[in-house]
Amino acid sequence: MAGVTVANVSRSFGAHQALDDVSIDFPDGGFYALLGPSGSGKTTLLRQIAGFDFPDTGRIAIGGESVERVPVEKRRIGMVFQNYALFPNMSVADNVAFGLSVRGEPKAMIATEVRRALDLVQLGKLGGRRPHQLSGGQRQRVALARAIVTKPRVLLLDEPLGALDKALRVDMQIELKRIQREIGITTIFVTHDQEEALTMSDRIGILRDGRLVQEGPPEEIYDRPQSEFAATFLGDANIFRGDATGSGIKLPDGTTIAASTGASVPAGAKASCAVRPERIQISTGAAKPDVGNANMLTGQVSKRIFAGNNSTYFVDREGQTLKVIVQNTGAERLAEGQPVVLSWSPESTVLIAA
């Protein structure tokens, strides 16, 4: 087991800068999600850590040992591929045994370890099957068993749940997390699915255009995004742009929005505010907003999407459409076209430097 350090890593392919001076510390035993849209460089970064590709500049260390020029087969990593990459010419047991067998371990030891790994992923009885006889979820488990049976220092997962359907994906998320806790292995997980990143990881690094945008625990990034991109990519956010006042921003129409979290921006500079849709209270003019909701705007419901346990309202104001999510508490639902008051607290408002 070992932590991973990536320091000032850059990599370009021709004119395309895939990674631009990325530095991240992946804590020992942690579950780290690299999140970003496609083309953000997250898979490139994973491949640098794995050793399939070497950085142009920068340092990569696993357990304190510099590995940036060490080929993949000597790095003692375990990797799960997006398409699982099971060897079709081998049985499930032989797939899992591959890493131990190329190392020349004794047969009896291999058999024991393979059985233990298959038990860990709850596939104890399927060792004799061929990969094509398995379901997607089972293949996923075999790929995981194969990656961890060699006791790697780091487990790398490249969008491992992307090919599974929704229900199975949720099961596998829980399963993956359980296994990771059980063996306590440092895990780096590449995904473009923000929900997956939020629910599974201890820390998240958000990448965009080859740069690290923000990194930290999921709660921290969600509650205190440092950029509009981080705010809108991890979860939903309403963004207001204006001039900083010292305690918030002033919108072009003169409305002020008070913010008490986020960056400190000198008055007069361009800044924006992000507010999560579930933090906004929506009411008709008659009802009084909660005490402390210093921010108040009026608008008109343009659309309502009912999703069972909650409803999303789209509220038009001053040429901007705001999004508000309301839990289904049985309260009266607002009709489209209805004028409404939106209110929220300064604590729920994150100030972002432009």
Residues near other proteins (CB under 8 A): 50, 52, 71-74, 76-79, 81-83, 85-89, 98-99, 102-103, 146-147, 150, 156
The nearest distance, CB 123 to other proteins, in angstroms, is: 18
Nearer to other proteins by Cβ, of 115 and 151: the residue is 151
User: Based on the number of CB atoms within 10 Å of its own CB, is 304 exposed (0-12), middle (13-18) or buried (19 or more)?
Assistant: middle
Cβ at position 80, least distance to other proteins in Å: 9
Longest Cα separation, the chain: 78
Number of Cβ atoms within 10 Å of the Cβ of 112: 11
Length of the chain in terms of residues written: 354
Query: 50 vs 249, which CB is nearer to other proteins?
Result: 50
As measured in angstroms, the least distance from the Cβ of 103 to other proteins is 6
Shorter beta-carbon distance to other proteins: residue 7 or 85: 85
Q: Which of 252, 273, 275, 255 is nearest to 263 (CA)?
A: 273
Closer residue to other proteins in complex, CB, 129/250: 129
Query: Shortest distance, CB of residue 336 to other proteins, whole angstroms?
Result: 48
Q: Which is nearer to other proteins, 73 or 219 (CB)?
A: 73
Question: Distance between terminal CA atoms of the chain?
Answer: 40
Helix (H) or strand (E) holding 79: strand 77-80
Query: Which C-beta is closer to other proteins: that of 74 or that of 166?
Result: 74
Q: Are strands 31-35 and 186-191 parallel, antiparallel or unpaired?
A: parallel
Beta-bridge partner residues of 339: 300
CB of 157: closest distance to other proteins in angstroms? Answer: 12
- Closest to 348 measured CA to CA, from 218, 212, 238: 238
Q: What CA–CA distance (Å, rounded) separates 3 from 9?
A: 17
CB of 147 to other proteins, least distance (A): 8
Smallest distance from other proteins to CB 104, Å: 10
Q: How far is the CB of 163 from other proteins (least distance, A)?
A: 12
Q: Give the separation between CA 295 and CA 85, rounded to whole angstroms.
A: 52
CA–CA separation, 348 and 130 (whole Å): 53
Q: Of the two residues 103 and 166, which places its CB atom closer to other proteins in the complex?
A: 103
Closer to other proteins by CB, 104 or 337: give it. 104
β-strand partners of 295: 344
CA distance 66 to 137: 35
- Least distance between other proteins and beta carbon 78 (Å): 7
Instruction: Map residue 155 onto helix, strand or coil.
Output: strand
- The helix, strand and coil proportions of the chain, stated in percent and rounded to the nearest 5, come to 25, 35, 40
Residue among 96 and 273 whose Cβ is closer to other proteins: 96
18 to each of 41, 49, 211, how far by Cα in Å?
Answer: 5, 14, 9
